[in-house]
Amino acid sequence: MHFSALAQLGLTGLLVALLPLTVVWISSDANKYRKLVWVAVFLTIDLIMFGGFTRLSDSGLGCPDWPGCYGSANPFLAHEHIVAAEALMPTGPVTVFKAWVEMTHRYLAMAIGVLIVAMMVQAWRQWRKSKRQEFAPALPTALFLFVCLQGAFGAWTVTMKLQPIIVTIHLLLGMGLLALLTWLGGRQDNAVAPVLRADADVSMLRPIRALAIFSAVLLTAQIALGGWVSTNYATLACTDFPLCGGKVIPEMDFEHGFHLWRELGKTAAGHYLPFSALTAIHWVHRNFAFFVLLGIGYTVYRAWFLPSLRKPARWIAVILAVQACTGLATIYLNWPLAIAVLHNGGAALLVLLLTMLNYKAKFQLDVARTSASAAATVPPALGSISRTP
């Protein structure tokens, strides 16, 4: 790809980023940095959902090179090549529509990269001036490195022709990016309204914190399994529920289904992937969902009794119910694209909400420990005097 085309591509990403940057600039919010972080969170959820649409509409190879499209900065300039490829294979991976879908996904990803660079630069500037904790640059810098890694996997997704393990890692990195941005957003919120008093003592908060971490691990595993279902196009391997092919335990090929390093639709030996392998992929994701519902559901139940955790817990319960409904709808309605994209978005919202729950639980626990330590260091005589009217 020529330098001029790369420059045009970079300029396009910058222009797309100008819209959210302008929204932040003209916002009435006095804390512009906090606003920038939460705008980036919102756009990352959009990017994850649009990435799901790109994958599910078979647009991942709409432009079969990277970072441009047939060496050009946009599908307008590559129109001749795209039309020629579409004429050869009208139902193939390259069409005008799919090219625009793929490039729009890339433009949005570049815009988020610009926002993260802006966060990092501003964090370092403010940290050198004030040393205020909300501008500690380690997390924004980690975000910059993380988004570079995500971009590399985006490139490999195209150049390695949608290899399932690469696409699944690309999805997981996108969810990880959302979690890191949400954690940064929580830090900015805490700077505006810091937690001064814990809702409970250490003995009550410690198990809730452990449950929140465990729930995040469960969700990560389920998203990985869901990504594996999607990237292997195994959504309709079971078209009934709760049975699969009319059986509780259908014929399944775990060896080929969960062999990670292989081409799309092929076994490691290069043969076509048997249907029983797709059934195994679908069946594992479906049944692991019950463990996720139980684990996260119990975490929500425990967190519900604490005022500071009740709001995220309530929303987690709502999104869990919606996820179950959209998951079943993809089966009974034969995988309509809109519902599949909503299911993808629901997973992103669960990542956001569980990250918020983990952040709040961690800092509630930190405050409780600080209070307990302070109480333990008060001399007995002074403690009795302080309690005297």
Rg of the chain, C-alpha, whole Å: 24
Which amino acid is residue 106, in one-letter code? R
CA distance linking residue 178 with residue 163, whole number of Å: 23
Q: Identify which of 178, 229, 214 has the alpha carbon closest to the alpha carbon of residue 292.
A: 214
Reading the block at residue 378, the tokens are 């008060």
CA triple 273-278-282, angle to 5 deg:
165
Q: Identify which of 352, 382, 374, 317 has the alpha carbon closest to the alpha carbon of residue 202.
A: 374
CA distance linking residue 100 with residue 108, whole number of Å: 12
**344, exposed or middle or buried, with CB in 10 Å at 0-12, 13-18, 19+?**
buried
Quick check: helix, strand or coil at residue 158? helix
Per-residue exposure over 88-116, b if at least 16 CB sit within 10 Å of its own CB, e if not: eeeeebbbeebbbbbbbbbbbbbbbbbbb
Q: Half-sphere exposure of 268 toward its Cβ, with a 13 Å CA cutoff?
A: 9
Which amino acid is residue 173, in one-letter code? L
| Residues in CB range of 224: below 8 A, 6 or more apart | 168, 172
Phi, psi of 266 (to 5 degrees): -125, 155
Known catalytic residue at 263: no
Determine contact, residues 63/158, Cβ cutoff 8 Å: yes
Helix extents (H) in the chain: 3-26, 32-56, 79-88, 96-130, 138-159, 164-192, 202-231, 254-257, 275-303, 307-332, 337-377, 380-386
Which of 80, 86, 102, 263 is catalytic? The answer is 102
CA distance linking residue 148 with residue 18, whole number of Å: 20
Quick check: helix, strand or coil at residue 180? helix
Catalytic residues: 102
